[in-house]
Amino acid sequence: MSPIDALVRSLPDGRVLTDPDVVGSYARDRTFVEPGKPLGAVLAATREDVVTTMRWASEHRVPVVPRGAGTGLAGGATAGDGSVILSLARMTAIRELSPADEIAVVEPGVITADLDRAAREHGLMYAPDPSSYEISTIGGNLATNAGGLRCVKYGVTRDSALGLEVVLADGRVLNTGRRTMKGVTGYDLTGLFVGSEGTLGVITSATVRLRRAPAAPPATFAAEFGSLRDAGAAVSAIVAAGCQPSLMELLDRATLEAIDDWRNIGLEPATKAMLIGQSDASDSQAAIERMERLCAENGASFVAVSSSPQETEELIGLRRMAYHAKERLGACLVEDVCVPRSALPGMIGAIEDVAARHDVRIATVAHAGDGNLHPVFIFEHGTAEPPAEVWAAADEVFTKALEFGGTLTGEHGVGLLKRRWLALESGPVAEEVQRGVKAVFDPLGILNPGKAI
């Protein structure tokens, strides 16, 4: 009996897929990275399915690649040769939602937006909201420590993760964290697993923090600028003034052109950047008016404040469609450097300079309120991997981000794509420590090998 046959016999009927064409549909994420040839895919429906799979994988020394919805942008869910894919997309239960304690206990396959909608029925909300929130899963968000549009005020996924249920590489079940708002017993294992990209264990349940939803719809503005640097300066001014936006998104000219080509938004020739800001504070209208004035003082050619929830949804929808618009133009190498907020205008200028010098199309959006930029390098569809000039441009962007005191990734994770630059940021001591942590939790090296570190 082959190892995969033993796994098929160990799990309920239909849980294990072995047809190469069907398995191939689970073998990659949204990157251009070509997967290897996995042995099969497990469609886990329960924690016990995950336990059985990991015990089998440890016994037979088979690599396991956990995955959620496959919306990742760093190659973290790309399957290698001889691996087994462990899909958690069928684990979709919201096991508990407690308005009194403002928490929810959810399985990893729950769609992010579905949790938020369930919370809002009780006057609460789930704060993290990546642009893919309608298709990405809580498990994937936890694996990459995803951020989103509201992270400028509410933080990233780690800030909402209170406790986890994790299946370790040998099949043991570990419970971390707590249900309380505070707790410092022992090491912060919850924080360790969040952002670990499936390399330390498989998350099968999470206790997450919910927050009170705003009593009234947020106030929103959109400002147009004649230069990207002016838009960056406006962001710095808004943050320095203590306006505390709940959302602050920046779109460059290349991104706006991609959206206009797709949806005909009436883009003006002089508009080189757009800033979309929002406040959900109790005095949101006054806060948004302050932001409006600061945009005008920093060179905005036009500023409009939404007058209805429908207009607000249209503006936010504009931002959320940015990546889809770029995918229509070509294959995409998506990066997500993060710099100190004060360095945002300089980093934006550096990206513009890199694009011109290498003659590479780079379309940039940013969670501007926290300095997280997404320069997207666009190249020809059908190309096996980015051409040399794209890699050269990416090298310069990452180097410049680190020179500004920034980091290689703010929320997408390292996956496969950013490993080539890790040494520039981590250094030998950090690398040695991280390898030691990996060895404690995964001594056989079977959990998502080759990713994250």
Check residue 328 and give its pLDDT. 93
Do residues 226 and 271 make contact, with C-beta atoms less than 8 angstroms apart? yes
pLDDT in 10s for each residue of the chain, 453 residues: 678 999 999 999 999 999 999 999 999 999 999 999 999 999 999 999 999 999 999 999 999 999 999 999 999 999 999 999 999 999 999 999 999 999 999 999 999 999 999 999 999 999 999 989 999 999 999 999 999 899 999 999 999 999 999 999 999 999 999 999 888 999 999 999 999 999 999 999 999 999 999 988 899 999 999 998 899 899 989 999 999 999 999 999 999 999 999 999 999 999 999 999 999 999 999 999 999 999 999 999 999 998 788 888 988 988 999 999 999 999 999 989 999 988 988 998 899 999 999 999 999 999 998 999 999 999 998 887 899 999 999 999 999 999 999 999 999 999 999 998 998 899 999 999 999 999 999 999 999 999 999
* pTM of structure: 0.94
The residues near 34 (Cβ < 8 Å, ≥ 6 apart) are 28, 384
Check residue 216 and give its pLDDT. 87
Segments of 272-430 assigned E as strands: 273-279, 300-305, 331-334, 361-367, 372-379
Residue whose token pair is 């942008």: 73
- For helices 228-240 and 284-297, the axis angle rounded to 10 degrees is 140
Phi–psi pair at 265, nearest 5 degrees: -90, 5
Check residue 1 and give its pLDDT. 65
Q: Are strands 64-67 and 84-87 parallel, antiparallel or unpaired?
A: parallel
The residues near 397 (Cβ < 8 Å, ≥ 6 apart) are 335, 337, 350, 351, 354, 362, 375
**Distance in angstroms (rounded) separating the CA atoms of residues 288 and 294:** 10
**Distance in angstroms (rounded) separating the CA atoms of residues 356 and 359:** 5
CA-closest candidate to residue 329, choices 366, 374, 380, 375: 380
Check residue 345 and give its pLDDT. 86
Domains of the chain: 3-87 (3.30.43.10), 94-212 (3.30.465.10), 217-325 (3.30.70.2190), 330-439 (3.30.70.2740)
The residues near 25 (Cβ < 8 Å, ≥ 6 apart) are none
Do residues 250 and 273 make contact, with C-beta atoms less than 8 angstroms apart? yes
Check residue 382 and give its pLDDT. 82
User: How long a stretch of residues is the chain?
Assistant: 453
Q: Are strands 40-43 and 84-87 parallel, antiparallel or unpaired?
A: parallel
Check residue 229 and give its pLDDT. 85
